[in-house]
Structure 1
Amino acid sequence: MSRKLVRPRQGRMFAGVCAGLAQRFGLSANLVRLLFLLSLLLPGTQVIIYLVLWILMPNEDRAY
Structure 2
Amino acid sequence: MTEPTVAPYKQLRRPTDDRVLAGVCGGLGRYFGVDPVAVRVGFAVLAIVTGGAALLAYPVMWLVMPEEARPAAPVWPNPADPAWGQPPSTPVA
Instruction: Judge same fold: TM > 0.5, yes or no.
Output: yes
Deviating above 4 A after TM superposition, structure 1's stretches of 4 or more consecutive aligned residues are none
Aligned length: 62
What is the percent sequence identity of the aligned residues?
37
* Alignment map for 1:2-13 (pairs within 5 Å): 2-13=9-20
**What amino acid is aligned across from residue 62 of structure 2 in structure 1?**
W
Asked which structure has the greater RCO (Cα within 8 Å, sep 6+), the reply is 1
Deviation of 1:43 after TM superposition, in Å, equals: 2.0
TM-score after normalising by structure 1: 0.87
Aligned-residue RMSD, C-alpha: 1.4
Gaps of 5+ in 1: none
Gaps of 5+ in 2: 1-7, 71-93
| 2:63 alignment partner in structure 1 | 55
TM-score after normalising by structure 2: 0.62
Larger Rg: 2
* 1:25-61 deviation line (CA, Å, top 9, x unaligned): 1000000001011112112631111110000101001
Match of residue 31, structure 2, among 15, 24, 39: 24
CA distance in 2, matches of 1:41, 1:48: 12
